[in-house]
Amino acid sequence: MERLEDPPDVVIRRLPLYARSLRYLLDEEIHSVSSQELGERINVTAAQIRKDLSYFGEFGKQGIGYDVEKLLNHIERILGLDQSWPVILVGVGHLGQAIARYDGFHSQGLRIVGIFETDQHKIGQKIAHIEITDYALMPKVIRDTDVRLGIIAVPAAEAQSVADMLIDSGIRAILCYAPIILQTPDDVWVRYIDPVAVLHSMTYYLARENMP
């Protein structure tokens, strides 16, 4: 067997989309799919799908395509989705509440195990069966429960210090909803959800439509 190269991050970021599309195929009771067909569903070329998968092994059959369930299982294993991941959430504004209540996390192997806030009025209340806990207790909870994934849903002004404390307490990957670029050590993964930036990149094109 060949020694496989380390897959680039772009490839890793596409795998969850492949997995999701395969789940939808299973729902539709489609059990076999070609790279061509899968690609059409997610707007990716067939060659790219085959190349991406080749970083991890050989999952298809020439002349046939891929067994949907088998390929899905492989990709989920690759992504670590054969286990469920505890996640903690910091910030319970409108957005934090929407995140805590979103079923899509729970159903996709992401278990919110702690919700933290500084606002004393909110501490003690429950959202989706999870009690809102004092932010000051966060480090202890992270250490005790060994969570490694954190979601930041606080205002931009507080996001950096929350990130510092998360990382200091043992968090290894952060999803940041605050509109700010965090400064973090190289060995911590950080990704952003930034709808305003995304909309602003589309206004660029809209401003140019019907124009000279």
Q: List residues binding DNA (CB under 7 A).
A: 2, 8-11, 34-36, 44-48, 50-51, 53-54, 58-66
- Smallest gap from residue 179 Cβ to its own copies (A): 6
Measured between alpha carbons, how far is 129 from 100 in angstroms, rounded to an integer? 10
Q: Which does 143 bind (CB under 5 to 8 A by kind): DNA, its own copies, none?
A: none
**Is 204 or 210 the residue whose CB approaches DNA more closely?**
204
The helices-and-strands tally (H runs, E runs) of the chain is 9, 10
Between the alpha carbon of residue 189 and those of residues 80, 99, 136, the distances in Å are: 15, 20, 23
Q: Which of 72, 74, 97, 122 binds its own copies (CB under 8 A)?
A: 97
Asked if 15 interacts with its own copies (CB under 8 A), we say yes
* Identity of the residue, 26 or 156, whose beta carbon is nearer to DNA in the bound complex: 26
Q: For the CB of residue 17, give the shortest distance to DNA in the complex, in Å.
A: 12
- Using CB under 8 A as the binding rule, whether residue 154 contacts its own copies is answered as no
Task: Report what 172 binds from DNA, its own copies, none; CB cut-off 5-8 Å by kind.
Answer: its own copies
| Closest by Cα among 173, 176, 184 to 149 | 173
With contact defined as beta carbons under 8 Å apart, do 109 and 79 qualify?
Answer: no
Least distance in Å: CB of 38 to its own copies?
Answer: 11
Q: What whole-number distance in Å separates Cα of residue 208 and Cα of residue 212?
A: 8
Torsion sign (Cα): 91, 95, 97, 99: negative
